[in-house]
Structure 1
Amino acid sequence: MWSRPVGWLLDRVLYRTVVTGRFNVPSSGPVIFAGNHISFLDGPVMFGAAPRPMHILVKKEMFTGFLGRVLRASGQIPIDRAGDRSALELCRHMLDAGRCVGILPEGTRGSGTAGNISNGVAWLALMSGATVIPVAILGTRIGDEHRDSIPGLRRRLHVSFGAPLIVARRNGESGRVSMDRAAAEIRAALAGHVQDAVKSTGQSLPGDSCTGPRPMQRRQEEVAGTPADHH
């Protein structure tokens, strides 16, 4: 309960966050928030802007010291990016209970175009039947700012919640085909929504691009899912 006001403070006091599309988020039932990833602040900003509380997947290395205690106390979920089906299973149980989960499926900070995403978000969507909401996050990093840079206080940020998407397995379709198709549908929805948000807000994406994980790492992430990344 205390983490919601903290999210509001981040979005409304420390930064000037313009939020659109809240009406796209179902008022009840399981929801997966899938956001693009350009800055380490994306997860917290998405958390504060959402009309419903969520549990965000965060790499386990962040769960140390004071920050780790804060993350656990606010209900965030540690995940081992080398392979962690247990974390996805925990998310599935939360979704089955009608709760919300947040994931940044690009896996690492980059240009935020959602050119590539992990299959973890597709697995969660297929297994839970949850509504997927693409989330465009803009302004947390701009121009040629370094990936580790902190946005200046009172910067205008934009968070846009897109049209809901539901993916389901089709009759006669194998699990792998379903997973790949669902991931492609979610990627297309997120990438398209990000571009729409760029056009409507006039806020461009940062100039650098993400080359993506190495082949073996990518294969592991297809099984384990990719968490919100803060490195």
Structure 2
Amino acid sequence: MSASPHAGSPRSGLPRTDEVPHPSQWALYHINIYARWLIRRRFDVRLHETANIPKTGPVVFASNHIGIIDGPLLAIFTPRPVHALTKLEMFEHWFLGPFLRWAGQIPLYRFGSDPAAVKMALRVLHDGNAMGIYPEGTRGAGDLAHFNRGAAYLALASGAPVVPVTMFGSRDPGGGISSLPHKGAVIDICYGEPFRVERVGWPRTREQVGHVSGLLQKHMLVQQDHAMALTGRELPGPLPTEENDD
């Protein structure tokens, strides 16, 4: 699917990211094969329709978010190394923080604008690599009912295609916010048809971003329905009412 909002400026290049460091890449390129082997000793991870993933060039993977292991699954099993925007709080842990940076993930402040995270994400795309983002912004039912604009912004700013990702099985039905699926659980990761939008230079208006975000949400819902039909799976439902991913 594609969308073509009017490009209001001839300056259609990416924002300047020359001085922004690219996140670490070594771990993503060298240890994923071992990480996959370890994870598959506990879970049955299955990938679907990976032919929808562009083999080269910048790409944004936009995933639903149902379980605590969605991020590692996206980064480790996606055929292309993924630098995912990850909530800042996880980087504040004494061990997990350095590990996430070593693994090439990008800290994101979720409760306001975060220019540093945006610039680093655009640097990844500028260099022709893959970004990961969770438009829902938090773990939950995974039904895309709540949909933030970050994925649409990255697509507009870079011209990178957005590949929808639907996760099934990374949280058991009724499972809590930090629960792992049961041992032997089948985890399906479905890659949908890319959503493409024409790159728009500065200034990008709120109306443009909102319009494209709405189109992207509809596209991802269609792809999620297709993933359900393909796998015969259902989403796990909402988190227990007393839990939320602050």
The bucket for the TM-score relative to the shorter chain is 0.7 to 0.9
Cα RMSD over matched residues? 2.3
Size of the aligned set, in residue pairs, is: 213
Q: Distance in 1 between matches of 2:120 and 2:76?
A: 22
Aligned partner of 1:223 in structure 2 is none
User: Where do 5+ consecutive residues of structure 1 fail to align?
Assistant: 212-228
Aligned partner of 2:44 in structure 1 is 16
Structure 1 segment 50-65 matched on structure 2, within 5 A:
50-63=78-91, 64-65=93-94
Aligned partner of 1:66 in structure 2 is 95
1:166 maps to 2:231: no
Say which of 118, 133, 136 aligns to 2:163.
133
The answer as to whether partners of 2:165 and 2:190 remain within 8 angstroms in 1 is yes
Aligned partner of 1:189 in structure 2 is 219
Task: Tell me by how many angstroms 1:165 deviates.
Answer: 1.1
Task: Tell me by how many angstroms 1:38 deviates.
Answer: 0.5
Task: Tell me by how many angstroms 1:110 deviates.
Answer: 1.1
Say which of 73, 79, 83 aligns to 2:108.
79
Cα distance change of structure 1 residues 198 and 142 upon mapping to structure 2, 3 Å threshold: farther
For the pair shown, the structure with the greater C-alpha radius of gyration is 2
1:30 maps to 2:58: yes
Cα distance change of structure 1 residues 12 and 110 upon mapping to structure 2, 3 Å threshold: same
Cα distance change of structure 1 residues 55 and 37 upon mapping to structure 2, 3 Å threshold: same
1:177 maps to 2:246: no
Task: Tell me by how many angstroms 1:134 deviates.
Answer: 0.1
Task: Tell me by how many angstroms 1:10 deviates.
Answer: 5.0
> Which structure's residues are more often helix, by fraction?
1
The answer as to whether partners of 2:59 and 2:130 remain within 8 angstroms in 1 is yes
Q: Distance in 1 between matches of 2:51 and 2:137?
A: 27
The answer as to whether partners of 1:11 and 1:49 remain within 8 angstroms in 2 is no
1:43 maps to 2:71: yes
SS in 2 for 1:65: coil
The answer as to whether partners of 1:135 and 1:159 remain within 8 angstroms in 2 is yes
1:142 maps to 2:165: no
Q: Which moved more, 1:26-35 or 1:135-144?
A: 135-144
Aligned partner of 2:232 in structure 1 is 202
TM-score by length of 1: 0.85
Aligned-pair identity (%) = 35
Task: Tell me by how many angstroms 1:14 deviates.
Answer: 2.5
Cα distance change of structure 1 residues 123 and 170 upon mapping to structure 2, 3 Å threshold: closer
Q: Which moved more, 1:193-202 or 1:15-24?
A: 193-202
Q: Distance in 1 between matches of 2:39 and 2:222?
A: 24
TM-score by length of 2: 0.80
Q: Which moved more, 1:22-31 or 1:175-184?
A: 175-184
User: Where do 5+ consecutive residues of structure 2 fail to align?
Assistant: 1-28
Cα distance change of structure 1 residues 144 and 210 upon mapping to structure 2, 3 Å threshold: closer
Q: Which moved more, 1:10-19 or 1:97-106?
A: 10-19
Task: Tell me by how many angstroms 1:82 deviates.
Answer: 2.3
SS in 1 for 2:62: strand
